Amino acid sequence: MKASFTLLFAFLLTTSYAQTRQTTGPVTTKHGIVIEVGDKLRMGEGSLPSGGYRYVYKSPAAFGKGHLDGGFQYVTAEIREIQERGTGAGRTLVLLIVPKGDLNIFKKAVDIERAIDAREIIAVNGVSISKLIAKKKAGIARN
């Protein structure tokens, strides 16, 4: 019985680790935007009816359920960590950010692909998302 419990615990530990992986280098979103630790994001308005953010969460532990309340519109946030959750087509890029002026010690978690689509993130390093996407499409058209 004790061996079964130990085996089960080891299995759960390895599977939970395999689902979330910290990335050290720059990553490219499905929109073709290259993002790395230290970049600055500019937050837009939340897409929930209450003004809260649908794809920005209060902490990494609250990912998928603990939506960030409003009050961060047009605030700049620094990327502190990048995580990949899942694999293959189910992969989700999660950015751990610290908004400027936030007194809370917890990092916020951003589902970057969906936040860009919902316009909850509107700029990276001072360049608007629409310009970054247009630049990527123009680069593809020239090639």
Q: Where are the domains of the chain?
A: 22-142
Q: How confident is the model at residue 109 (pLDDT cuts 50, 70, 90)?
A: very high
Q: How confident is the model at residue 87 (pLDDT cuts 50, 70, 90)?
A: confident
More confident of the two residues 142 and 47: 47
Give alpha helix (H) positions in 20-128. Answer: 112-117
Query: What per-residue confidence (pLDDT) applies to 23?
Result: 83
Closest by CA to 129, choosing from 29, 27, 25, is: 29
- Which H or E run contains 42? strand 40-43
Query: What per-residue confidence (pLDDT) applies to 38?
Result: 94
Burial of 109 from C-beta contacts in 10 A (0-12 / 13-18 / 19+) = buried
Q: How confident is the model at residue 102 (pLDDT cuts 50, 70, 90)?
A: confident
Percent of the chain past pLDDT 70, that is, above it, reads: 81
Closest by CA to 22, choosing from 107, 105, 89, is: 107
Query: What per-residue confidence (pLDDT) applies to 133?
Result: 85
- Which H or E run contains 2? helix 2-19
Is 68 a residue whose pLDDT tops 60? yes
Query: What per-residue confidence (pLDDT) applies to 19?
Result: 75
Which tokens belong to 114? 């969906």
